[in-house]
Amino acid sequence: MDAVGTNRRGWLAAVGLTLIAGSVWLAASAGIDSLGISISTALEGSPGAPARDRPSCQDVSGDQYKWHSVELAMSPDSEATTHVGSAKLVASTAKAPTQLHWSSDLGVDAVLLHSRAETKIRRFDSERFFERHEVGDTSELTKVTFCYDLELTVNKDANPALTRVYEWDIRETVEPSQWRLSKDEQGVSTYRVEVSRDSGTDSGWRVTGTITIDNLTPSNAVIDEVVDMTSDGVAAQIDCGVELPGYVLESGASLSCEYQTRLSDDASRSATALVRTSGPVEGASASAHIDFASAQVEEVADSVYVTASTGRSWTFDKSDTITYERTFRCDEDAGLHPSAVRIDGTDLRSSTSVSIDCQPTPTERTAARPSER
């Protein structure tokens, strides 16, 4: 969280620089810790150096920050636990013979590893909630000091969503559309109903979520403001359900704030929630990535109901084609037979028709000739 700097007792934190002063000497180096994720600094006391000459958390932080500390006495192949407010800290030498493993509910800024001969400091570039450190022989490790500042713990999630509206079209055709039939002859026409749906048009991009504020410190916190803003400068609407500024979040308590942000497009972006406080407990922030590739999609008109004038009906949830047949017979079906289909709730429709021409039989034509003379 903080860069390595000069502290108030004048110890130098410069790469490759060694200072000998009485029984304490400093060998500071910026490097990669056992997990490859921290900045390491080592302050070592010569064998037999008194405990009062060992560095403290405030020595490590300097005048810029007010760090607090909590200590755990260690022994080989053991586990020790302590609490800061409602936050639990656990350190163990039982998992590996040369390593110290620890975890904390509270963000830790630095760890002081005390042996009989020396104190080694691991100061982190950002707060840690768990780590492991190479300590050599764990039987030499006598005490671990955790350095922390009093600040809230903030978490947030981000749930992107959008609205997708579909457009539809419909077309009806028939084959054959004309019949010339004699009496008692019949013909079968095939109707084809084609319904198409586009890929949808997206709009209404938004992100919702919860900002969770935990006070794991032993002191009450005074929350004055909660803001949330995307990386492109769009502020969220936030409802914490309490009156701000001046809301007191007691030690061990939690506050949840619901937020919603309306966005102009589906570009990937991040959003950061910031909690501002007054008093001894500092505020904090948390960020979340917004990716609309996994967004919840509110679909509008994703399916349609189609009715036909012939009494048939169908439901479509994608582009599709259906066919059906009608049988026409002479003489009862002579004439024009119109047909129409429509998408319910819209003005979209299509129509076609079948013409039935019933021809006279040969007997009817012969019988008709005398009267035609």
Check residues 332 and 40 and name the one with the higher pLDDT. 332
Lowest-confidence segment of 46-60, 149-163, 221-235, 283-297 by average pLDDT = 46-60
Query: 110: which 2 tokens?
Result: 């630095």
Contact between 249 and 220 under an 8 Å Cβ cutoff? The reply is yes
The pLDDT of residue 48 is 47
Name the pLDDT band for 68 (thresholds 50, 70, 90).
Answer: confident
CA distance linking residue 164 with residue 49, whole number of Å = 71
Residue 69 pairs in a beta bridge with 147
CA distance linking residue 283 with residue 275, whole number of Å = 5
SS (H, E, C) the chain: CCCCCCCCCCCCCCCCCEEEECCEEEECCCCCCCCCCCCCEEEEECCCCCHHHCCCHHHHHCCCCCCEEEEEECCCCCEEEEEECCEEEEEECCCCCCEEEEEEEEEEEEEEEEECCCEEEEEEEEEEEEEEEECCCHHHEEEEEEEECCECEEEECCEEEEEEECCEEEEEEEECCEEEEECCCEEEEEEEEEEEECCCEEEEEEEEEEEEEECCCCCCEEEEEEEEEECCCCECEEECCCCCCCEEECCCCEEEEEEEEECCCCCCEEEEEEEEEECCCECEEEEEEECHHHCEEEEECCCEEEEECCCCEEEECCCEEEEEEEEEECCCCCEEEEEEEEECCCCCEEEEEEEEEEECCHHHHHHHHHHHC
Name the pLDDT band for 60 (thresholds 50, 70, 90).
Answer: confident
Check residues 96 and 200 and name the one with the higher pLDDT. 200
| Arithmetic mean of pLDDT over the chain | 84
Lowest-confidence segment of 44-53, 106-115, 134-143 by average pLDDT = 44-53
The pLDDT of residue 103 is 94
The pLDDT of residue 52 is 57
The phi-psi region of residue 252 (left if phi > 0; otherwise alpha if psi is between -120 and 50; otherwise beta) is left
CA distance linking residue 185 with residue 273, whole number of Å = 79
Name the pLDDT band for 112 (thresholds 50, 70, 90).
Answer: very high
Whether 38 shows a pLDDT value over 90: the answer reads: no
> What is the C-alpha radius of gyration for the chain, rounded to an integer number of angstroms?
40
Q: Which domains does the chain have, with CATH numbers?
A: 18-149 (no CATH), 150-366 (2.60.40.10)
CA distance linking residue 174 with residue 289, whole number of Å = 53
The pLDDT of residue 63 is 65
Lowest-confidence segment of 44-53, 110-119, 121-130, 196-205 by average pLDDT = 44-53
The pLDDT of residue 90 is 94
Angle at 133 between CA 130 and CA 136, to 5 degrees: 155
The pLDDT of residue 13 is 33
b/e map of 193-211 (b: 16 or more CB within 10 Å)?
Answer: bbbebeebeeeebbbbbeb
Check residues 183 and 29 and name the one with the higher pLDDT. 183
- Residue range 263-287: mean pLDDT, rounded: 96
- Global pTM value: 0.69
The pLDDT of residue 363 is 63
CA distance linking residue 126 with residue 134, whole number of Å = 19
Contact between 67 and 148 under an 8 Å Cβ cutoff? The reply is yes
**Number of Cβ atoms within 10 Å of the Cβ of 35:** 11
